[in-house]
A = this chain, B = another copy of it.
Amino acid sequence: MQKYLTIYHELADKIKEGTWEVDDLLPSENDLADHYGTSRETIRKALNVLVQNGLIQKIRGKGSVIIDSDKFDFPVSGIRSFKELADTMHLEASTIVKELSLEQADSQLQRKLQLHEAADVWKVTRVRQIADEKVILDKDFLLEKTVPGLTEDICKHSIYHYIENELGLVIGFGHKEIVVEEATEDDYDLLHMDNHMNVVVIRSVVYLDDAQAFQYTESRHRPDKFRFVDFARRTPN
């Protein structure tokens, strides 16, 4: 692995273990460079990842202060699979696969995935349970060309795990939209909806690191169980 990433992980682990108090300063970049026997720029690359992930804040002239990242229980933002979420939040979660089929992408889906021609897509419908309550209805559409060999077993476990670990693909980026809509009959059928007339809908497109869109997802959440957490920095624009 790259030197800066191993240093990042070592520092991230130490921070999460509480090696330094919140508001304490990390050793200076020069000290870290000496300690790890590397150049300052390499240390800076490692520290920048810590900054991105909300573990430290750098202050010019002072140093790098430890941030109370517990406050954020943050990795919910960004691109995360349901399984990753459930694991990091220590939830008792399970998945029910309602449908797994191969279809032709219609024109709307072609536009979302920026396809210039027809293509086969997997349609996957899954219900997510947390503590034995059906709270999320996920409808995924995945390019068959990019994600071949999907099985019900994979869908039940984690499609992302399959994509990244079995197929060796690398997720690049994604964008999502969150809105609130009226619940449909599907929602009432498949989720434990009680009296809620609204659902929170997250529509997202995910791209590989070669900028190819390969997945469109509509994720429908019971409103009383929905929670989205985000950590952000002010960037140049």
Query: Chain A contact residues: over half helix, strand or loop, or mixed?
Result: mixed
* A79 proximal to B (CB < 8 A): yes
Q: Are B175 and A224 in contact (CB under 8 A)?
A: no
Q: List 11 A-B contacts (CB under 8 A).
A: A23-B211, A52-B235, A57-B173, A77-B232, A78-B234, A177-B230, A178-B230, A179-B228, A180-B226, A228-B228, A230-B230
Number of interface residues of A (CB under 8 A): 55
Q: Are A227 and B178 in contact (CB under 8 A)?
A: yes
Distance of A180 Cα from B174 Cα, bound (Å):
24
| Given A175-B231, A180-B223, A207 and B57 contact (CB-CB distance below 8 Å) | yes
* A59 proximal to B (CB < 8 A): yes
* A133 proximal to B (CB < 8 A): no
Distance of A1 Cα from B53 Cα, bound (Å):
26
In chain A, residues 101-133, which have Cβ atoms closer than 8 Å to a Cβ of chain B? 114
| Given A211-B65, A211-B67, A237-B53, A229 and B177 contact (CB-CB distance below 8 Å) | yes
Q: Are B232 and A175 in contact (CB under 8 A)?
A: yes
Q: Are A54 and B173 in contact (CB under 8 A)?
A: yes
Distance of A128 Cα from B106 Cα, bound (Å):
39
Q: Which 6 A-B pairs have the closest CB atoms?
A: A180-B223, A178-B228, A78-B232, A57-B211, A171-B234, A173-B233
- Give the nearest-CB partner of A204 in chain B: B230
